[in-house]
Amino acid sequence: MILTKNMDYASIIDGKNILITGGTGSFGRQLVKEISNLSPQKVVVFSRDEDKQYTMRQDLADEKISKKISFVIGDVRDYERFYSATKDMDIIFHAAALKQVPTVELYPYEAVKTNILGTYNIVRAAVARKVKNVISISTDKAVKPVNAMGMTK
């Protein structure tokens, strides 16, 4: 499925179990809020950052959507951990990435492990679990890449 601007996203999300990698990051955090307001069955936030998970849990505590959201600490680099989080998922939104260009230039192998091998783990788990849809969030830097971040996305 290719998502477009004019789609009825509510009908796509309605009653579904959604997992969001990088759900505590800059893009993922907003995605969690938007999707949670649409009527999913549940939203699982998969993130390796315990502190951001704690903060997000506290920020959402008084909101109605908090009952739909659960948190899993894990890293997309760890296939077994990710696979265990994908049980009964209908849709995976993949927003986890190393995306700060200066950091990725300093540590390109870490970007390969997260952005390439992590994405591979997501695809493997999705196929093994028969997840219906996987949506990968990317960047304009992946088009005609000139740096390590673009090349790994």
Which span out of 2-6, 29-33, 60-64, 82-86 was modeled with the highest average pLDDT? 82-86
**8 A C-beta contact, residue 66 and residue 44:** no
Give the distance from CA 135 to its chain's centroid: 9
- For residue 105, give the amino acid letter: E
Phi-psi category of residue 20: left, alpha or beta, with phi > 0 → left and psi -120 to 50 → alpha: beta
Which residues participate in catalysis according to the annotation? 141
Check pLDDT > 90 for residue 153.
no
Give the distance from CA 18 to its chain's centroid: 10
Q: What is the pTM of this model?
A: 0.89
Mean pLDDT of 72-91: 98
Mean pLDDT of 83-87: 98
Structural domains in the chain, CATH included, are: 15-152 (3.40.50.720)
Give residue-wise pLDDT tens across range 34-59.
999 899 999 999 999 999 999 999 99
